[in-house]
Amino acid sequence: QVQLVESGGGLVQAGGSLRLSCAASGRTFSNYAMGWFRQAPGKEREFVARISWNSMTYYADSVKGRFTISRDNARNTAYLQMNSLKPEDTAVYYCAADRGMVATTEPQNYDFWGQGTQVTVSS
């Protein structure tokens, strides 16, 4: 019953910043953990960041210290602030919602997905 729509992707130079947004429908948004994943051409979808219903966060090693996940339950929105972007960050970024109580980085454990937004980082 949750619909997710990502926005905020675009083209940025290496070292620049972008903020992705994930707008969610439904009054039960605050009960879901939210995750960000990304997928580059020819590669598997990989975990980027997760934030629980009570704002516990977890990051992939590749983005830790550069990316920050957050949520605003009043606005039914999750965010991914991306700083110090590198060309290897180029991918389609997806947000996802997880109803489970156990933290997970595995895509198959997420129940709802957005359509994705393209992030391209030029060198």
Determine the average pLDDT of the residues in 39-54: 94
Q: What is the pLDDT of residues 92-121, one digit of tens each?
A: 999 999 987 788 899 999 999 999 999 999
Total count of residues recorded for the chain? 123
Looking at residue 33, what is its pLDDT?
A: 93
Per-residue model confidence (pLDDT) at position 100 = 76
pLDDT score of 29: 75
Q: Are 21 and 77 in contact (CB under 8 A)?
A: yes
Q: Are 5 and 114 in contact (CB under 8 A)?
A: yes
Check residue 66 and give its pLDDT. Answer: 98
Q: What is the pLDDT of residue 27?
A: 65
User: Residue 83 and residue 29: Cα distance in Å, rounded?
Assistant: 26
